[in-house]
Amino acid sequence: MLHLRSADNHSLWNDTVRVWNETKRECFAGFLVFFGTLAAFPALSSLVETTAENVIWRNYFTSVACFLLFNCGDALGRLLVNFAIPGEKSLLTLSLLRLLLIPIFFFCNINPRYHSATFFHSDKAFIATMILFSISNGFLFTATTISATR
Alpha-carbon Rg for the chain, nearest whole angstrom, is 20
pLDDT, average across residues 95-115: 85
**How does 129-145 read in b/e, with b if 16+ C-beta sit within 10 Å?**
bbbebbbbbbbbbbbbb
Q: What is the pLDDT of residue 90?
A: 92
Q: Using the predicted structure, report yes or no on whether residue 4 has a pLDDT greater than 60.
A: no
* Range from 3-7, 60-64, 135-139 that averages highest in pLDDT: 135-139
Answer yes or no: pTM beyond 0.95: no
Q: How far is CA 89 from the centre of its chain?
A: 17
Q: What is the pLDDT of residue 77?
A: 97
Mean of the per-residue pLDDT values for the chain? 87
Distance from the first to the final alpha carbon of the chain: 33
Q: Using the predicted structure, report yes or no on whether residue 8 has a pLDDT greater than 80.
A: no
Residue pLDDT, tens place only, 31-62: 999 999 999 998 888 888 888 888 998 888 88
For the chain, give every domain's residue range.
35-148
**Measuring CA to CA, which residue among 98, 121, 127 is closest to residue 38?**
98
Q: What is the pLDDT of residue 11?
A: 82
| Cα dihedral across residues 57, 134, 80, 142: positive or negative | negative
3-state class of 110 per DSSP? strand
